[in-house]
Amino acid sequence: MPRNLAFDAPLGRAWATLPAGWRRALGLLALAWLGNVVLFAADWQAMFLQWWHSSTYNHVLLIPFILGWLVSLRWREVVKIAPEGWWPGLVLFGGAGFLWLLGDFAGLSLAKQLGVVLMAQASVLALLGPRASAALLFPLAYMLFLVPAGDELVPTLQTITAAITMILLDISQVPAHIEGVFITTPGGYFEVAEACSGVKFLIAMIAYGALVANVCFRSWPRRIAFMGLSVAMPILANGVRAWGTIFIAQSQGIEFAAGFDHIFYGWIFFALVMALVMGVAWKFFDRAIEDRMIDAEAIAANPLLTRFAALRLGTGRALGAMAALALLFIGWGVWANRLEAAVPARLAFPAVPGWQQVDYTPRAYWRPRHTGASHVLLARFRDAAGHTVDVSFALYSGQSEGREAGGFGEGVLTPDTGWAWERSPAPLAGGHADRIQTAGPVHRLAETFYRSGDLLTGSNSRLKLQNILDRLVLRERTTMTLIVSAEDGQPGQPSAEQSMRAFVGATGSVAALMDRTASGG
């Protein structure tokens, strides 16, 4: 077979032997990606810091090298296809930029980071065209693993792990009682904490599974089966890990079990699980080493891609249009971030019939977090029947990065305070309910309400949609958070649910209480 000089030559000579069209297209693509990194430097920096500092995303540091390797596997075939500018790529670029803008409006880093990666992918479509992009389809799709996503799965994975653990404890005849993610056995009191959810290994295994499915399999049913195995095995294995830790603690003590968990289960166990997955799948690999990853001739002859390729645009114009779109979205975001609604100079809770403010003396200290709020109030109320509630209120003059009412770690459960999420029971008054727990144990029930304009909701998603709409149309509007909470489990005292129902009933209307508090009276 004749040698492909564009592939085999050293880097400098390889560039010189590339067709002129490819040199120009790659040069413009490099400019587009450089502009992306410069204009959205804060988002790329935030992503890199997560890759570097968060053990959940350390594996992402390898993704750029994997992407280079994936492209090299296809390069002999890719250079047979002539690159061409493609105007539908600008539509995709604009959509990605709009997603970034919405993420900026909502204070949602995940949406912003996904937006900048999608813009990088759309740049390839706009400057190389549909045929070359089809040849690079998997590496382009694999770029999505650059986005540090997956922490949102933690509560679900905690619940699943706790359920698997209880099943295994029952099989192994270890008496156990579960409350949310807290498990009590004769050997001790255990929490399926966020760090024990298994999210780190699951995210890394999904990225690894996608790579293996593409490189080692040709059959789609086999690829799908392997991805299913790559998802199921780490979840099941983490349940076994949690059970093993508790089981060992019954005979060896909690300290020994915790040390064994970090040493053996932390890395060795999951390495064995990964080896097991590969061992099971090995005999089903159906891609030979000498197989081409893509077929340039088939791509060039594809009638659908041929019709798409007719929608041409000059690459220089495409680059200029992408720059203009990026600047438009950045300018829009800057303007909207400066919006501030007027708020009173001082706030105070209004009188609630039958209730009085008393000293805030909880059994275990608890204070919700409302970063960036213009005003924050926290008070304890008690009625003649002994019902006691704690009420937290926050008023925001606007919503932006670093001051989101529903941002991560905001509200009921502040990280690193000793409080842990137990479960989300049914709400009592249309908000969002959480049951949390701290050492003692002390249990607390809390219900969160958000208000913006006419919207009253317990849904963080609905609040963000309202905030996004306000900022899209450049409308100044305040946002409020109200948290009604009570401690539970005190002998001879009303339950948290009873106290909260009594307080909400006395206010007449949660919306009215929030509006009266926000008005300063």
Residues 6 or more apart whose Cβ sits within 8 Å of residue 340: 397, 398, 476
Q: Which residues, including other chains, have CB under 8 Å from residue 19's CB and lie 6 or more apart?
A: 6, 79, 82
Residue 168 has pLDDT above 90, yes or no: yes
Q: Which of 487, 489, 478 is closest to 519 using CA atoms?
A: 478
Average pLDDT score, the chain:
90
**What average pLDDT does the segment 237-247 reach?**
88
Tell me the pLDDT band of 515, cut-offs 50, 70 and 90: very high
Pick from 108-112, 187-191, 269-273, 373-377 the range whose average pLDDT is largest.
373-377
d(CA 9, CA 4): 8
Answer whether 75's CB lies under 8 Å from 139's CB: no
Tokens 């750029």 identify what position?
A: 64
Beta bridge partners of 379: 391
Q: Average pLDDT of 461-472?
A: 91
Q: Is pLDDT at 448 greater than 50 in this prediction?
A: yes
d(Cα 211, Cα 221) in Å, to the nearest integer?
16
pLDDT-derived band at 4, boundaries 50, 70, 90: very low
Rounded distance, CA 111 to CA 213, Å?
27
Q: Which stretches of 172-219 are DSSP H helices?
A: 199-216
pLDDT higher than threshold 50 for residue 1: no
In sequence order, the β-bridge partners of residue 378 are 392
Per-residue confidence (pLDDT) for residue 5, from 0 to 100: 42
Q: What 3-state DSSP class applies to 476?
A: coil
pLDDT band at 392; cut points 50, 70, 90: very high
Residue count of the chain? 521
Evaluate whether 506 touches 385 at the Cβ level (below 8 Å).
no
**447 beta partners:** 433, 484
pLDDT band at 6 (very low <50, low <70, confident <90, very high): very low
For 327-373, the pLDDT digits (tens) are 999 999 999 888 889 999 999 999 999 999 999 999 999 999 999 99
Predicted pLDDT at 211: 96
Q: What is the pLDDT of residues 77-130, one digit of tens each?
A: 999 999 999 999 999 999 999 999 999 988 888 999 999 999 999 999 999 999
Torsion of CA 398, 403, 404, 407, to 10 degrees: 180
For 21, 130, 306, the CA distances from 298, given in Å and listed in that order, are 21, 13, 11
**pLDDT tens, 226-235?**
999 999 999 9
pTM for this model (two decimals): 0.85
pLDDT at 7: 45
Enter the tokens of residue 477: 């509007």
Please report the pLDDT score of residue 210 as a whole number: 97
Average pLDDT value for residue range 273-278: 89
Cα–Cα distance between 518 and 1 in angstroms, integer?
77
Confidence of residue 14 (pLDDT cuts 50, 70, 90): low
pLDDT for position 13: 63
- Please say whether the beta carbons of 393 and 517 come within 8 A: yes
Q: How many Cα neighbours within 13 Å face the side chain of 188?
A: 17
Count of beta carbons in the 10 Å neighbourhood of residue 206: 16
HSE-up (13 A, CA, CB side) for residue 520: 6
Nearest Cα to Cα of residue 136 among 198, 68, 196: 68
Asked whether the beta carbons of 5 and 295 are under 8 A apart, the reply is: no
Q: Beta strand 188-191 with 355-358: parallel, antiparallel or unpaired?
A: unpaired
What average pLDDT does this structure show over 244-251? 82
Residue 8 has pLDDT above 70, yes or no: no
Band of pLDDT at residue 72, cut at 50, 70 and 90: very high
Whether omega before 441 lies within 30 degrees of 0, making that bond cis, reads yes
